[in-house]
């Protein structure tokens, strides 16, 4: 039996450590290499205690994160807020943001980029 072309199983996707993050492992679930997506990208992130993203922004790329497990603190420019499972945050294009794990247990979250980020160094602005 063949796997359907548009079905993605996280267990079959290799993880990688994204730049500008600590104790973080991402799996690119939706993208060109998995289902041929060209205008969006969806990642499953696993961030361990002490992990998260250092301050950065993405030029022309919007980002949304849906928290599945654990707790975290997000900051967009000068606005900071705590997140629990079921919360979703939005990082506008070109706006500095930070994401930090606050729980002892790992954080799991879905990360959506539009247009796709693809871990390209030219798509990151650091302070």
Q: What is the largest CA-CA distance in the chain?
A: 52
Residue 22 structure tokens: 């600590």
Confidence (pTM): 0.92
Inter-residue contact 109 to 73 (CB < 8 Å): no
Residue 45 structure tokens: 């992130």
**pLDDT, position 1:** 64
Task: Please give the class, per CATH, of domain 34-104.
Answer: mainly beta
3-state secondary structure 14-51: CCECCCCEEEEEEEEEECCCCCCCCCCEEEEEEEEEEE
Q: Mean pLDDT in runs of 10 for the chain (127 residues)?
A: 87 92 95 94 96 93 97 97 98 96 98 90 76
Angstrom CA distances, 7 to 10, 12, 13, 41, 80, stand at 10, 11, 12, 15, 36
Domain locations in the chain as residue ranges: 34-104
Chain centroid to CA 37: how far? 17
Q: How far apart are CA 64 and CA 92, in angstroms?
A: 9
**pLDDT, position 13:** 96
């Amino acid at each position: 039996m063949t796997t359907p072309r548009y079905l993605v199983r996280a267990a079959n996707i290799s993880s990688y450590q994204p730049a500008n993050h600590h104790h973080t492992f991402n799996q690119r679930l939706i993208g060109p290499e998995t289902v041929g997506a060209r205008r969006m990208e969806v990642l499953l992130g696993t961030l361990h205690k002490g992990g998260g993203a250092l301050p950065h922004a993405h030029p022309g790329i919007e980002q949304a994160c849906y928290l599945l497990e654990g707790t975290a603190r997000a900051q967009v420019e000068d606005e900071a807020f705590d997140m629990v499972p079921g919360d979703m945050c939005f990082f506008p294009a070109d706006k500095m943001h930070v994401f930090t794990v606050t729980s002892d247990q790992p954080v799991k979250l879905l990360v959506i980029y539009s247009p796709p980020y693809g871990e390209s160094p030219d798509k990151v602005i650091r302070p």
